[in-house]
Structure 1
């Protein structure tokens, strides 16, 4: 899509099929696999602001998934693109955290102010970093014996053309985060 102010903007929307482990807790049988569809949107029609919308049904309680997402300091252990993580301040309703990430060969740091609703959602807002804008959040809703994990994220990288590869690759990594946290939950809770 071309606009007068951002002649190189583009838009993509589609569906992605993915496999998620679905099984009963404490089961002696190996995990069964459920194929489901997740909607992915990368929309840059509004001032070149990419958006990522992902969700998955997982066989874990909302509190379990919330705990994994809130535990920012462990991100480097399972997200290869996160080089370091630090929580500066935290209480039951608020968290200020910095991630150092490596994307497209570039290392950048950014800090978010996170509003916490225990076991339900984590809302992110940019404090500082290589973005003109960054925001969104995680939601955790009970569904049967498991929950639906949803990630909605919008961002715009500052720096123009030089950081376009960073923005494109950050989009791909953000798109994979729900899958990465699902795999992390399996490793943590199925041992």
Structure 2
């Protein structure tokens, strides 16, 4: 099953990074190929984790696909995990992990494991997955700067 991952160190607090990554309803605002997102069935469990369903419309290089994921955003663990409910995949699991950095800021890691049903889409995705993950991270970093500014006051000076 194809898999890719990337991590970046950011000057934002773990809480800020988590708020950004877990705000899936706003993904279409800053990730250009996510053209629509509907969030439903939102519930908070006894541990403080939020569970919901995300229904996305994605357009890329002439292809438009819809898929649904179950999302668990756990602030205590610093994770946001999306797992396939239905869509063009045989399998899909995306996990964001936010880790505090000793001198302030956070490390944000994204790992995605996926397998498409359609061979043509699978080949297109395989040829572009490094570009896609770089663009995802760039989009999140740009949105973090918009939301939180260049130097968040909650971070500890280096």
Q: Secondary structure at the match of 2:12?
A: coil
1:97/1:113 contact within 8 Å kept: yes
Structure 2: gaps (5+ residues) = 151-158
| Alignment CA distance shift 1:95-1:167 (3 Å) | farther
Larger strand share, 1 or 2: 1
2:34/2:57 contact within 8 Å kept: yes
Supply the distance in 2 between the matched residues of 1:74 and 1:136 (Cα, whole angstroms).
Answer: 17
2:57/2:65 contact within 8 Å kept: yes
Q: Normalized against structure 1, the TM-score is what?
A: 0.69
Q: Mean Cα displacement is larger for which, 74-83 or 155-164?
A: 155-164
Aligned length in residues: 143
Correspondence 1:97 to 2:49: no
1:82/1:99 contact within 8 Å kept: yes
Pick from 10, 23, 26 the counterpart of residue 74 of structure 1.
26
Correspondence 1:109 to 2:66: yes
Deviation (angstroms), 1:91: 2.4
Tell me the residue number matched to 1:137.
95
Structure 1: gaps (5+ residues) = 1-48
1:106/1:166 contact within 8 Å kept: no
Bigger Rg, which one: 1
| Alignment CA distance shift 1:126-1:69 (3 Å) | same
Larger helix share, 1 or 2: 2
Correspondence 1:156 to 2:115: yes
Supply the distance in 2 between the matched residues of 1:132 and 1:123 (Cα, whole angstroms).
Answer: 17
Question: Could you say what the CA RMSD is over the residues aligned between the two structures, in angstroms?
Answer: 1.8
Q: Normalized against structure 2, the TM-score is what?
A: 0.82
1:149/1:178 contact within 8 Å kept: no
Q: Mean Cα displacement is larger for which, 85-94 or 163-172?
A: 163-172
1:103/1:166 contact within 8 Å kept: no
